[in-house]
């Protein structure tokens, strides 16, 4: 069952490839097929299998059996009169606002802002900072992103694409060092680039780094201030 934790509790026999346990335990099956078996002693599970290839639960009358496989390893839990519960779960993260659609919480987790009630997920670009301010069009939070300059755009890229903001600021602002044509702001293979307008005759293209333009390099391209220091738009430049 996706996005849920299944819990089984009762008197169980737990068998792995090298040992067997017996006791009243709690068995958790997470949505990523990780299986954890907990007893009363401490926080460490007595047995577990992380992201199993498959998890099978069988019931026969009041009998219970759970089998999980991962490569050549097997975890087997059997018992009788086992209590079972299912708990819906979501990603957990740092609160960053309120959903304009549901009024529920928005959290930042796993490189995205997640609407816990609606289940919507808004992936963030690398280096983005989620702001307290909200988008005037949709009500979602704004994010600040450094791509040549600092842009404040909606976290929903369908509402206010970062690419459009960078393109408006820097399209044709720089010159290709190889053929003298304009560099265009484009997205190719998932990357935001300054690519030569003469493509495919000239294949020169540079990834636009996470930083702001602070100077001009001796090669004629812009210099960016990034988290690791100053660098030319051409990452191979020996400036």
Residue 118 has pLDDT above 90, yes or no: no
Residue 100 has pLDDT above 90, yes or no: yes
> To the nearest whole percent, how much of the chain has pLDDT over 90?
85
Please give the pLDDT value at position 138: 95
Average pLDDT over residues 43-60: 94
Residue 238 has pLDDT above 80, yes or no: no
Distance CA 166, CA 150 (A): 9
- pTM (global) more than 0.95: no
Average pLDDT over residues 100-115: 93
Please give the pLDDT value at position 1: 40
Do the Cβ atoms of 193 and 163 come closer than 8 Å?
Answer: no
Arithmetic mean of pLDDT over the chain: 93
| Radius of gyration for the alpha carbons in the chain, expressed in angstroms and rounded | 26
Do the Cβ atoms of 92 and 109 come closer than 8 Å?
Answer: yes
Give residue-wise pLDDT tens across range 87-96. 988 888 999 9
Give residue-wise pLDDT tens across range 124-158. 998 899 999 999 999 999 999 999 999 999 999 99
pLDDT band at 110 (very low <50, low <70, confident <90, very high): confident
- The residues pairing with 122 across neighbouring beta strands, listed in sequence order, are 113
CATH, domain 4-88, list 1.10.10, 2.60.40, 1.10.3470, 2.30.29: 2.30.29
- The residues pairing with 212 across neighbouring beta strands, listed in sequence order, are 148, 225
Domain assignments of the chain as residue spans, ordered by start: 4-88, 94-166, 171-232
Burial class (CB in 10 A: 0-12, 13-18, 19+), 184: buried
pLDDT band at 239 (very low <50, low <70, confident <90, very high): low
Give residue-wise pLDDT tens across range 165-209. 999 999 999 999 999 999 999 998 888 999 999 999 999 999 999
> Which residues have a Cβ under 8 Å from the Cβ of 162 and sit 6 or more positions away?
125, 145, 147, 151, 153, 192
Please give the pLDDT value at position 189: 87
Please give the pLDDT value at position 2: 54
Say how far residue 182 (Cα) sits from the centre of its chain.
34
Residue 10 has pLDDT above 50, yes or no: yes
CB atoms within 10 A of CB 238: 7
Do the Cβ atoms of 98 and 118 come closer than 8 Å?
Answer: no
Please give the pLDDT value at position 151: 96
Give residue-wise pLDDT tens across range 205-222. 999 999 999 999 999 999
Please give the pLDDT value at position 119: 84
């Amino acid at each position: 069952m996706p996005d849920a934790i299944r819990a089984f509790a009762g008197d169980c026999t737990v068998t792995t490839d090298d040992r067997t346990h017996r006791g009243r335990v709690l068995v958790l099956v997470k949505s990523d097929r990780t299986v954890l078996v907990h007893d009363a002693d401490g926080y460490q599970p007595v047995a577990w299998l992380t992201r199993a290839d498959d998890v099978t639960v069988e019931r026969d009358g009041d009998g219970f059996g759970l089998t999980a496989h991962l490569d050549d390893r097997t975890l087997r839990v059997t018992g009788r009169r086992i209590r079972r519960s299912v708990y819906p779960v979501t990603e957990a993260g740092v609160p960053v606002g309120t959903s304009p659609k549901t009024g529920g919480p928005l959290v930042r987790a796993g490189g995205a802002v997640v609407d816990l009630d609606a289940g919507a997920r808004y992936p963030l670009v690398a280096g983005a900072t989620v702001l307290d301010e909200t988008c005037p069009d949709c009500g979602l939070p704004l994010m600040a992103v450094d791509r040549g300059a600092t842009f404040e755009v909606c976290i929903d890229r369908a509402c206010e694409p970062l690419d459009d903001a960078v393109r408006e600021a820097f399209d044709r602002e720089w010159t290709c060092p190889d053929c003298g044509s304009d560099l265009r702001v484009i997205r190719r293979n998932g990357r935001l680039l300054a690519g030569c307008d003469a493509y495919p005759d000239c294949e020169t293209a540079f990834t636009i780094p996470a930083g702001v333009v602070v100077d001009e390099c001796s090669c004629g391209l812009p210099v960016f201030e990034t988290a690791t220091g100053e660098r030319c738009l051409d990452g191979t430049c020996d400036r």
